[in-house]
């Protein structure tokens, strides 16, 4: 491991795609409020109303409602993202478009296809030509074979190296597959802050609040902008993003007003407690106070679970709430993953700390939030069906 080692950024890739999309907006090639179906005439999802309503802005801010855990492997060819969007004809909705936030990686793959149609090239090449090369990000790439030129960090599960370096299908790139050194991640942020990546008004627009986030704990989000996660560090506004990949976890925190950017890239377990301790210490040196770690209160109390009991379902997941017990079950194409049984400890009248969630969440307690008829786990909204 060296300071220029290349890591998998996971969902931090969404900041790169958002930057690329906003460059097209700047040039007048794309309207934020354009309907996706007007830009991609062949775009279809399972709900005809959603097909005709979803906008570019909604994709960027995770308010399209598109169920996010949709990962068909459409091959390694240059047409993989086009084929992914064709497969979206079966993709359902977590929520109606524009009605609520629900984290959606699928939405960012659709954005990647919009980039391809408007630039006439692949998302990979468009990102390299329009963002990476102009900004001098020499240790940032989007294909695993490009990583071979560099020292690559290998992910670990339970202390053992992962048997495969990258499990993401190529089509997942716009939302989950950018590889970079920590230094290059900070250089991207610097290009945002000094105006060399985008015009200052575009940079400011990306940081504007588009939606509030009911689950303020999974990724410490207070709201969402156009790509950026928005934070409230005890009165100090911040932006950033988290990412998870094959045994690797990435954390980016930025305080624009002070010109502070911290990128923490890891390749082992227990990453969230580690990141919380490191980011809390570093930001504290600049007078920035992070909220306390998510945990149940010291004094236990009871909550009437009657309004929350029942079954919630979104694409690939069924959540069953039975008083203070929750079962999180992967179904359909996601059935290859193990289910989880969790105890729920009240944090407030609608927020619970789940125990037994397993190492995949890399934390002592996993937030389970009930809001507006949805159960939020992992920032994804599952509507109540029974």
pLDDT in tens, 115-168: 999 999 999 999 999 999 999 999 999 999 999 999 999 999 888 999 999 989
Question: Which of 11, 64, 181, 220 is an active site residue?
Answer: 11
- Predicted local confidence at residue 357, as pLDDT: 58
| Token representation of residue 149 | 């030129």
Match domain 7-285 to its CATH number in 3.30.2310.20, 3.40.50.1370, 3.40.710.10, 3.90.1150.10. 3.40.710.10
Extents of the domains making up the chain: 7-285, 310-383
Residue with tokens 């409602």: 65
- Pick from 327, 225, 282: nearest CA to 14: 225
Can you tell me whether residue 33 is helix, strand or coil? coil
Say which residues have a Cβ less than 8 Å from residue 136's Cβ, sequence separation at least 6: 187
Per-residue pLDDT band at 361 (split at 50, 70, 90): very low
Spatial distance between the Cα atoms of 360 and 378, rounded to a whole number of angstroms: 11
259 with 193: CB under 8 angstroms?
Answer: yes
11 in active site: yes
Per-residue pLDDT band at 362 (split at 50, 70, 90): very low
| Token representation of residue 341 | 């049984």
Neighbours of 206 (CB within 10 A): 22
**What average pLDDT score do residues 324-328 get?**
95
What predicted TM-score, i.e. pTM, was given to this entire model?
A: 0.95
- 360 has a pLDDT exceeding 80: no
Half-sphere exposure of 194 (CA within 13 A, CB side): 10
| Token representation of residue 383 | 């509507």
């Amino acid at each position: 491991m060296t300071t220029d080692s290349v890591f998998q950024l996971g969902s931090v890739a969404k900041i790169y795609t958002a930057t690329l999309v906003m460059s097209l907006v700047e040039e007048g090639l794309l309207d934020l409020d354009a309907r996706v179906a007007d830009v991609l005439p062949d775009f279809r999802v399972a709900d005809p109303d959603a097909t005709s309503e979803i906008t570019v802005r909604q994709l960027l801010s995770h308010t399209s409602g598109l169920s996010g855990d949709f990962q068909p492997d459409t091959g390694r060819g240059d047409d993989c993202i086009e084929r992914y969007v064709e497969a979206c004809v079966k993709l359902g909705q977590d929520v109606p478009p524009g009605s609520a936030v629900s984290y959606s990686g699928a939405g960012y793959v659709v954005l990647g296809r919009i980039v391809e149609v408007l630039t006439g090239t692949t998302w990979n090449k468009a990102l390299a030509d329009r963002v990476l090369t102009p900004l001098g990000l020499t240790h940032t790439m989007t294909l695993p074979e490009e990583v071979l030129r560099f020292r690559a960090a290998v992910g670990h599960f339970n202390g053992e190296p992962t048997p495969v370096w990258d499990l993401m299908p190529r089509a997942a790139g716009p939302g989950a597959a950018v590889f970079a050194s920590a230094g290059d991640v900070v250089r991207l942020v610097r290009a945002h802050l000094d105006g060399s990546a985008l015009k200052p008004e575009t940079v400011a627009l990306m940081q504007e609040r588009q939606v509030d986030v009911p689950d303020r704990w999974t990724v410490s989000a207070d709201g969402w902008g156009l790509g950026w996660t928005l934070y409230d560090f005890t009165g100090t506004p911040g932006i950033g993003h988290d990412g998870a990949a094959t045994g690797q976890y990435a954390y980016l925190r930025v305080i624009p007003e002070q010109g502070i950017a911290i990128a923490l890239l890891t390749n082992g377990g227990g990453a969230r407690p580690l990141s919380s301790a490191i980011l809390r210490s570093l930001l504290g040196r600049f007078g920035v106070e992070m909220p306390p770690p998510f945990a149940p209160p010291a004094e236990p109390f009871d909550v009437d679970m009657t309004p929350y009991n029942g079954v919630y379902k979104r694409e690939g997941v069924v959540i069953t709430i039975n008083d203070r017990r929750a079962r999180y079950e992967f179904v359909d194409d996601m059935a290859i993953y193990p289910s989880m049984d969790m105890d729920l400890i009240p944090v407030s009248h609608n927020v619970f700390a789940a125990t037994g969630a397993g190492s995949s969440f890399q934390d002592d307690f996993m937030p389970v939030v009930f809001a507006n008829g949805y159960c939020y786990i992992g920032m994804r909204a599952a509507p109540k069906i029974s």
